Amino acid sequence: MPDIEFRVLGPVEILCEGRPLGPTTPQQRSVLGMLLLDLGHVVPTGRLVSALWSADPPDSARSSIRVYVTRLRKLLAPDPAVRLVTVGEGWRLECDPDRVDLHRFRTLVRHAHSGPAEAAGGRLRQALSLWRGPALADTSDNALTSALVVGLEDERLAAVEDRIARDLDSRTSVSVVPELSVLTVEHPLRERLTQLLMSALHLSGRTAEALAVYHQMRRRLVDELGIEPSATLQTEHQRLLAAPGEELRIPPAEPLPRQLPGDIAAFAGRKHHLARLDSLLSDAERDARMLVAAVAGIPGSGKTALAVHWAHQIKDRFPDGQLYMNLRGFEPSGEAVSPDDAVLRLLDALGVPAAKVPADPDARSALYRSLLADRRLLIVLDNARNEAQVVPLLPGSNRCAVIVTGRTELTGLAARSGAHLLTLDVFGPDEARDLLSGRLGAPRTLREPDAVAQIIHRCAGLPLSLTMVAARAAARPGFALAAIAAEIESSEVVLDAFESPDASIDLRTVFSWSYLQLSPEAARQFRLLGLHRGPDIARDAIASLTGTTASAAARWLRELSRMRLVTEHTPDRFELHDLLAAYAAELAEAVDTPAERRTARHRLLDHYLHSVRAAAHRSAPHRSAIPVGAPVAGAVVRAPANAEEATAWLADERHVLTAAVADAYEHRFDRHVWQIAQYLATHLRREGLGADWLATQRLARSAAERLGDARAEATACYGLAAAQIRYGDPAEAERNLKESLHRFRDLGDLDWQGNTYSMLSVKSEADDDYAAALAYAIEGLELYRRAGNAPGQARALNNIGHCRARLGDYVLALRDCNTSLEMFGDLDDPVGTGNTLDSLGFIHYRCGDYDLAIDCYKRSVESLLESGERYLAAVTLQRLGDAYLAADDLTAAVDAWKRALRMFEELRHPLAARTKARLTALPWRRR
């Protein structure tokens, strides 16, 4: 029995035993192409009419479509495994997807991404070999077909980009440069092609050309689209700018006195800070005034290294010499150098005989300033404790320059002396790699990139810890860096990896010099901050952790901030460096009792639980509630005043809340685990944060099982399944939903049974099984009615209508969705209203009623944005653009897609790349 195959990746063809059977006319090819693109799904007559006639179809259009379908059936008759079925006012083509080149292409690309890396390149080449030219090449040329062709071409280009990226991973950069040069001309606004060309040129030793390519692309994006390059492309630009090859300028000079400590031969990073200091010095020289720059940063951030390195770079501009003074503001003895002693030492360095030094401190200071009045000196005041140490040492000459370092931010020095304040953060990955490469040699670090990354991660970007590890590796040149990394990783206690007999570089000792100067209250707050697990922490959370008032917490936070033990990176939000957090946790373990630590953690978790509950109810007021007890004494609850404030709080706290779920699980606060996870789920879904959603729900499921609480287990099964439907394993999602349904039945909870049936409907929709989805949605509706849950009934009716539309039953679909829309209006539920309007837009679009579709989609976007559903709004904007395009309103289509692009980029969602590619290819490239 002959086998029939289909081709759409080029001219549309039917092949039987390798021989072409037709179709012979563009109209028949267009109909066949539409059926193959939606293989296994009903294609309505209205959609086929749109595929053949852009506007003003003839009165006989629908009759003509039926004729074309009849002719196609005759062509397909030899193979009973291929069926063209009439369904209502449309048709569905059924056959094995492997018989269609497009679906084989998609399968190969999917396997390339999910299979072994070594096989990916071959699979991508095999997939691309299926293309014989532009997709749907000989079909009717109109707006709808053009949009479909653009989408298919985007898939091909994405596969080409993935294949080239594999080639670059294999270091075949020379061979892909010509190909990329052509592709970037053909697709001048496609950023990933530009990024790949930059990488290929750089790997070929043509970095200057790579940078020129970036600047051309940026000008094009700004001029034509009014947007800046993506973060990925900007990062590639910065990486190439920081590439090795630039020589450091170390001017030869021999002035006296010359007290600077030796420069660091392999100084790395801090390019921005060095450039800032250069600019400040140039400005001061131009304005004939003294420069005072104060550098602050956490312990171990490399303040002294920066100051000394910069001083060596510019010392030739100070012919009268350089003075250096370690003020010992943070030393084990706790005894800082007094200003009087410092002036004595500086006078000695300036060559003043001891017999001529005045006995009176004020007279000594006057002599010091007099000696500097007509000189051009550079003065480095290192390790200052406060402004009182520094001010008496400032010269009066406008020809001098002073650079001060200290752990505290010397704001008083800025106010009194016009000092410029610079703050050092930890190193980013590139700076950290530069430091290791500079000290160990580039060949050694390039041989073991994974070990280098592991070392950088363990050192948390702190220059001091990186320097210590580099010294350890340099002393063992025969050791693989993987062995050094494993040695650091094997330390049971984090800071053990950074111990040293030299107190000046032992991390615990260096940190202790700041800790020991704290008041008892601030010291306790610092220790308890070590219990917090998250990237940062808000002030009211700190008040909960310590069991104090917000004002008291703020007072002690100011003390910690002055000592650079915490950083207020945004108003009322604080962060600790990872190694400082490890030090704080060690201190808490040593000083505070287990009961005190557990009580503090309980207060903090109650703060997060009750605050996320309040925010969730504000941002999604119609969600089903879960029972939560009262907060413990001392836990501060943040209660947002409205939905906007709630959404902003959830966005600020998202990383912290996901970390809190993990911390609660680790310390067996199982009730907090599943309850925080459930209240956080809506926000994670809205923002498209699939990894966080899955991770928190898996912990919730495990914690509920550990509790042995039936309601907790039922709710956690439901929550995990909801995440798995979109981001995980659909089969496991179905098992979890059925287990959840069984438990809610045992509990007699009709409301949550309805939720579970609704989620089973969503799962079936994701599997394209709309008949099963419809059955589940109807069952959910009945349960919601029995429970008296009006929001649930409205959601179920929308699901029912959407499923019926997918099955081609548009009359009943409109009835159900319109009923749902009325109910949501009575409930004042903008999310439900937006979702239902999106369904109505889909129905009208499928029926060819583009004006109605556009109206529904526009109202849907407005309603979804009102409730903070940015991801859903962006998806609807894409559909709105499709509807505008089908209605031949090209300008409006592009505007809708640009809005969708901005939202996807704000969310950092993968759909941003596809949307941008569509914008670059349509409409101007096809008109």
Nearest to residue 637, comparing CAs of 656, 615, 661, 670?
A: 615
What is the distance between the alpha carbons of residues 226 and 229, in angstroms, rounded to a whole number?
Answer: 10
What is the distance between the alpha carbons of residues 805 and 816, in angstroms, rounded to a whole number?
Answer: 10
Res 689 pLDDT > 70: yes
Res 156 pLDDT > 70: yes
Count other Cβ atoms within 10 Å, centred on residue 524: 20
CB of 134 within 8 A of CB of 149? yes
Q: How confident is the model at residue 117 (pLDDT cuts 50, 70, 90)?
A: confident
Report the pLDDT value the prediction gives residue 230, as an integer from 0 to 100: 85
Res 187 pLDDT > 50: yes
Res 283 pLDDT > 90: no
CB of 529 within 8 A of CB of 576? yes
Res 253 pLDDT > 70: no
User: Between these two residues, 494 and 197, which has the higher pLDDT value?
Assistant: 197
What is the distance between the alpha carbons of residues 684 and 679, in angstroms, rounded to a whole number?
Answer: 10
CB of 414 within 8 A of CB of 521? no
Strand ranges inside 792-892, DSSP E: none
Q: How confident is the model at residue 248 (pLDDT cuts 50, 70, 90)?
A: very low
Under 8 Å CB-to-CB from 305, ≥6 apart: which residues? 264, 267, 463
What is the distance between the alpha carbons of residues 791 and 530, in angstroms, rounded to a whole number?
Answer: 43
At residue 81, the 3 state secondary structure works out as coil
Report the pLDDT value the prediction gives residue 490, as an integer from 0 to 100: 63
Half-sphere exposure of 356 (CA within 13 A, CB side): 9
Top-confidence range, 44-58, 81-95, 616-630: 81-95
Under 8 Å CB-to-CB from 478, ≥6 apart: which residues? none
Report the pLDDT value the prediction gives residue 332, as an integer from 0 to 100: 54
Report the pLDDT value the prediction gives residue 231, as an integer from 0 to 100: 79
Model confidence pTM above 0.75:
no
CA distance to 129, 160, 177, 440, 442, per residue, from 183 (Å): 17, 10, 10, 39, 33
Of 40-44, 164-168, 174-178, 910-914, least confident by mean pLDDT is 174-178
What is the distance between the alpha carbons of residues 551 and 543, in angstroms, rounded to a whole number?
Answer: 9
Sheet containing 90-94: order of strands: 43-44, 90-94, 83-87
Q: How confident is the model at residue 497 (pLDDT cuts 50, 70, 90)?
A: low
User: Between these two residues, 427 and 720, which has the higher pLDDT value?
Assistant: 720
CB of 8 within 8 A of CB of 100? yes
3-class secondary structure for 208-262?
HHHHHHHHHHHHHHHHHCCCCCCHHHHHHHHHHHCCCCCCCCCCCCCCCCECCCC
The 8-class DSSP code of residue 849 comes to: -
CB of 526 within 8 A of CB of 587? yes
Count other Cβ atoms within 10 Å, centred on residue 249: 8
Token pair, residue 179, equals 């190909």
Half-sphere exposure of 94 (CA within 13 A, CB side): 10
Report the pLDDT value the prediction gives residue 927, as an integer from 0 to 100: 39
* Cis amide leading into 923 (omega within 30): yes
What is the distance between the alpha carbons of residues 837 and 821, in angstroms, rounded to a whole number?
Answer: 7
CB of 835 within 8 A of CB of 821? no
Report the pLDDT value the prediction gives residue 314, as an integer from 0 to 100: 87
For the chain, the average pLDDT equals: 86
What is the distance between the alpha carbons of residues 234 and 232, in angstroms, rounded to a whole number?
Answer: 5
Report the pLDDT value the prediction gives residue 251, as an integer from 0 to 100: 31
Token pair, residue 262, equals 């030796």
